[in-house]
Amino acid sequence: MLETLLTLLWSFVKIGFTSFGGLSMIPLISHEVVSNGWMNLSEVSDIVAIAEMTPGPLGLNCATFAGIHAAGMVGAVTANLGVLMPTLTLTAVAAAFFQKVQKSHRMEEILTGVRPVCIGLLLGVVASFCQTNYVVNSAVSPQAIVIGLLDAVLLFKWKVSVPKVILLSAVLGLFLFRLG
């Protein structure tokens, strides 16, 4: 059992460090779980399909299912730790670095330059979403604008929770666009 867990950990550490997430992980996951005899290709295909349908990152979901298949719940935890190792490592290194330079005058200057860039990027995304969400059939949609304004009032003035606003928007969208 310990040997299986160590092999599982090492396999998913390799996957985490050598893939870039998403679909690029599938060939690596397939190779590791098949070559170690934990699953056959048909089972790998099944876990990829299930991982795509369930919420969360594909690699983490595949690691969970492959780990459970190979060594039960302990295997799932082990595979997840392996696939998360790059994230955990980079986060720890970044935290240690930031701790050292947090009070630095130079870091404050860097962050002063980075903040406006982040705001600009967010505004660019908002602008592109507006084109996608408020233009229907090459024309500005009054119904979509009404839903967007109502959402803004609900979120910012009345502090209604995001899930409730999403649900209300979906219902309004069905109602207004079916009638429109």
Domain boundaries, the chain: 2-101, 105-179
Angle at 167 between CA 130 and CA 119, to 5 degrees: 35
pLDDT category, 180, cuts 50, 70, 90? low
- With both helix axes pointing from N to C terminus, report the angle between 58-101 and 26-35 in degrees, rounded to the nearest 10: 110
Q: Hey, what amino acid is at 50?
A: I
Q: How confident is the prediction for the chain on average, in pLDDT?
A: 92
pLDDT category, 143, cuts 50, 70, 90? very high
What is the C-alpha separation between 117 and 4, in angstroms, rounded?
A: 47
pLDDT category, 31, cuts 50, 70, 90? very high
Count Cα neighbours of 97 within 13 Å in the Cβ-side half-sphere.
Answer: 7
- Which whole number is the average pLDDT over 24-39? 93
> What is residue 81's predicted lDDT score, i.e. its pLDDT?
96
> What is residue 36's predicted lDDT score, i.e. its pLDDT?
96
> What is residue 20's predicted lDDT score, i.e. its pLDDT?
77
> What is residue 64's predicted lDDT score, i.e. its pLDDT?
95
Q: Is 154 exposed, middle or buried (0-12, 13-18, 19+ CB in 10 A)?
A: middle
Q: CA 121: distance to chain centroid?
A: 19
Over residues 45-73, the pLDDT tens digits come to 999 999 988 888 999 999 999 999 999 99
- With both helix axes pointing from N to C terminus, report the angle between 58-101 and 41-53 in degrees, rounded to the nearest 10: 60
Over residues 101-119, the pLDDT tens digits come to 888 999 899 989 999 999 9
pLDDT category, 178, cuts 50, 70, 90? confident
